[in-house]
Structure 1
Amino acid sequence: MIVGFDIGGTKCAVILGEEVSDSRLEIRDKIILPTDKPVYEMIDALYKHTELLLERNAVSLDAVQGIGISCGGPLSSRRGMILSPPNLPGWDNIPIVEMSVKKFNKPVLLQNDANACAMAEWKYGAGRGYENLVFLTFGTGMGAGLILNGKLYSGTTDLAGEVGHLRLSDMGPVGFGKAGSFEGWCSGGGIAQLAQIRVRQRLQMGEKVSFCSKLEDLPGLTAKMVAEAAYRGDATAIEIYRDCGTYLGKALALLIDILNPEVIVIGSIYGRAQSLLEPAMREVLEREAIRTSYEACRIMPASLSENIGDIAALSLAVQAAAM
C-alpha cells in the first residue's frame, strides 16, 4: 500500500492507494480537508488523517511502502523542502520530507505538482509508452512537467518547466507576475481577465453579451462561464477562446521546436474546451513549428482528469518505495 499527500492552497488530500500493475494505480480511499490552519497545524492534521485513513481501511503502517507529497512550488525536491509557495502563505522553508520520515519511518518523496502530474500521466495516463513528454497543467495557472529521455527533468534548482513565465506578447492578461505571459493567456485566471477586458469593451459600446449584462458583474466572470457561453454560440466567448488557442499554439510551437517531444499532454481546461481551442492552436502550429518536429508530436488531453492530483501523489509514493 502507498500513501499520497496532495497539498494545495485551498484544500489538501490524503490518499491511500495501491499499484495494481505497472500501468495502473488504484485509489482505495481518501480524505479531503481544507487548507485552513497554520502550516505546522496543517501538517499535523495531514498526519492524523493518515492514521485515520489507515485505521478505517484496516491497513497497518507496516503495510505502507512509501509516501508521496505533491505540492505547488517553489520547492526543493533534493532537500525535501517546501519553499514559500505563493498559494501557501507561511509555508516557508518547511522540511516536510524530514518531518514525514520522522513521523512514519517510511521513504518519502516530494515534487512540485506539475512534475508529479507529468509522472502520473507518463506512468498511468495518456503518456504511457513515450520517452519524451511535456505535461502542461492549464488550470488555475500554467506549469509544466518534463519527461526527457525517459526521466523527469527538473533542472538545476527544481525550476525547469516554469513555462507560464514565458512572455508571448508585450501586452495582455497577467499571469506569473508578467503581462502577456503564457500563464496570462492560457490559464483559468488569464481567461477570466481576458473576458473582463472584452466584455467591458462590448458593454461600453452598447452591445449585449449573453453571459454578462452589467459592468458590476465583471469580477465574477470565470473561464468555465465563458466556455459554457462559447458552446452556446456566444460570439464574444468564442473570440476569447480563439485568442487563448492562438497563444497556446505559439507556446506549443516554442516547446516543440526546443524540446522535440513525442507527446504534449495538456490538463484541466484543455480537456474541457478542446474544440474551442484547437482550431486556432493548430493554425499557429502549422505556421510556426518546425514541420518535422510538429509532425512527430502528438497533442492530447490528460486522461486522468479529475483524479490526476491523487494519482500524482501516489505515483511519487511508488517512486519513494523503490528508492
Structure 2
Amino acid sequence: MSGQLYLGLDLGGTKIAAGVVSGSGKLFSLVRVATPAHGVRSDLRALFDAAQATLAAARIGWPKVKAVGVGVPGAVDPRTETVWAPNLPGWKSVPLRRLLERALGRPVFIEADRNVQAMAEAWLGAGKGASDLIFLTVGTGIGAGIISSGRVVSGSRRVGGAAGWIAVTDRWQPAFARLGSLEAQAAGPTMVRAARLALRTQKRGVLARLARADRKLTGETLVRAARQGDARARRILAEAGEHLGRGVASMVALLNPELVIIGGGLAEAGDWLLAPLRRAAKKWGQPLASRQVRIMRTRLGADIGVLGAARCAMLEMEREKKSNVDFPSNQAG
C-alpha cells in the first residue's frame, strides 16, 4: 500500500464510521460501530476504538496516516476549536481536535458533517465538476453542506448550513427552539415517533411486523416497510418529504445551485421521500431556479461521511503546506 493515506472519521447521532482513504479516494478499510450517546467520554472511546480497528483492517500503522479528518453532527467554533453537537448528550464546547490529537498522535481536522459530505460529492460523487451544489443530509438531524462558486460556505462562526432551522410552518412548537422547525418535523426521530403513534391504533400490517422483528422501530424499519408496501410508512415519508421540499425551495431560491443532493440514512427511502420533496420544491420554489435545479440522491451511499472527512484532512494539509490564509473548509473539489 503506497501513497499518502488519510483516516476519515464520521461521528453520527447513532453510528460511527472510520475508514482509511488514499489521496485518490480509494477506500481501503471501513469499520462501523454504534454511537454510545451516553456522554462525551464514551463517544470518544468509541471513536478511538473505531480508528484503531480500521487501521488494523487496512493492515497499516499510525506512521502511515498523514492526517485525520472528522465530520461531526453539529458546529465547530473556529475561535476555540470546540464542537457543539445538539443530538449527542454532553457535546457542548468539546475540544475534540485537542483530545484526538493527543490520543492518536496525528494531525486532526474537524468539520461539520454536512460540509465534509458536500466535499465528498464535489470530489467523487454526483457533484464532481459542479461549482454550485447543496448536499442535504437527512437522518437523526438535518443539515446542508453548501458549495458556492467552488467553495464551501460555512459562515462567520461555521454554523452556516444549519438547514434544520429553516422555518417551514408558522405554527410554533416548543421543539423548534431546540431542533429548528424543519428538523423537528422531518428528521428521522420525528418520523419514528409518527410511526409509533400509528402503531398504537393499528397493530397489524408490514410496519408492525417489521417493528416486532427488529424489536424496536427505527428509521431503517420505516424505509423497509415503505418498500414493502406499507401505506402508513409511505404516508409518513411523504409528509416529511413535503416539509423537506419547502426547505429545499428556500435554499434553491437563495443560492441557485446546479444540484441538490440528498443523503443521510433516510435518503434510502428513495422516491417515497424524494418524489414529494421534488414536487414541493417546485411548487414553493422560485420559478427559474426551481426549474433548472436537479434534485437527486447521493451515489456515494453510507461511505460519504468517511470519504468527506478524509477529503477535509487532505485539503487542510494542502492549505497548511501552501501557507494559505483562507479558512480550511473554503476549498471543496
Amino acid at match of 1:19: G
Aligned 1:140-151 pairs, distance under 5 A: 140-151=140-151
Alignment partner, residue 72 of structure 2: 71
Q: Distance in 1 between matches of 2:50 and 2:270?
A: 37
Q: Is the 8 A contact 2:164 2:179 kept in 1?
A: no
Q: Is the 8 A contact 1:4 1:69 kept in 2?
A: yes
1:276 to 272, 275, 278: 272
1:316 to 304, 312, 315: 312
Q: Is the 8 A contact 1:65 1:106 kept in 2?
A: yes
Structure 1 unmatched ranges of 5 or more: none
Deviation at 1:239, TM superposition (A): 2.5
Runs of 4+ in 1 over 6 A off after TM superposition: none
Alignment partner, residue 138 of structure 1: 138
Deviation at 1:7, TM superposition (A): 2.7
* Structure with larger Rg: 1
1:228 to 224, 229, 250: 224
Let me know the Cα RMSD of the aligned residues. Answer: 3.4
Deviates more, 1:149-158 or 1:29-38: 29-38
1:81 aligns with 2:82: yes
Secondary structure of residue in 2 paired with 1:237: helix
Q: Is the 8 A contact 2:13 2:140 kept in 1?
A: no
Deviates more, 1:73-82 or 1:51-60: 51-60
Amino acid at match of 1:282: R
TM-score normalised by structure 2 residue count: 0.78
Deviation at 1:271, TM superposition (A): 3.5
Alignment partner, residue 157 of structure 1: 157
Alignment partner, residue 286 of structure 1: 282
Deviation at 1:147, TM superposition (A): 1.0
Deviation at 1:254, TM superposition (A): 1.0
Secondary structure of residue in 2 paired with 1:137: strand
Q: Is the 8 A contact 1:238 1:276 kept in 2?
A: yes
TM-score normalised by structure 1 residue count: 0.80
1:191 aligns with 2:191: yes
Query: Structure 1's 2 and 295: CA in aligned 2 closer, same or farther, altered over 3 A?
Result: same
Amino acid at match of 2:252: I
Amino acid at match of 1:108: V
Deviation at 1:262, TM superposition (A): 0.9
Q: Percent identity?
A: 28
Deviation at 1:46, TM superposition (A): 4.8
Amino acid at match of 1:243: E
Q: Is the 8 A contact 2:83 2:92 kept in 1?
A: yes
Q: Distance in 2 between matches of 1:289 and 1:264?
A: 13
1:298 aligns with 2:285: no
Amino acid at match of 1:241: L
Aligned 1:96-245 pairs, distance under 5 A: 96-101=96-101, 106-169=106-169, 170=171, 177=178, 181-200=181-200, 203=202, 210-212=206-208, 220-245=216-241
Q: Is the 8 A contact 2:78 2:157 kept in 1?
A: no
Query: Structure 1's 63 and 112: CA in aligned 2 closer, same or farther, altered over 3 A?
Result: same
Query: Structure 1's 29 and 160: CA in aligned 2 closer, same or farther, altered over 3 A?
Result: same
Deviation at 1:48, TM superposition (A): 7.0
Deviation at 1:261, TM superposition (A): 0.9
Q: Distance in 2 between matches of 1:300 and 1:120?
A: 15
Query: Structure 1's 173 and 140: CA in aligned 2 closer, same or farther, altered over 3 A?
Result: farther
Secondary structure of residue in 2 paired with 1:308: helix
Deviation at 1:128, TM superposition (A): 0.9
Deviation at 1:121, TM superposition (A): 1.5
Deviates more, 1:256-265 or 1:239-248: 239-248
Q: Distance in 2 between matches of 1:57 and 1:259?
A: 40
Secondary structure of residue in 2 paired with 1:156: coil
Deviates more, 1:227-236 or 1:128-137: 227-236
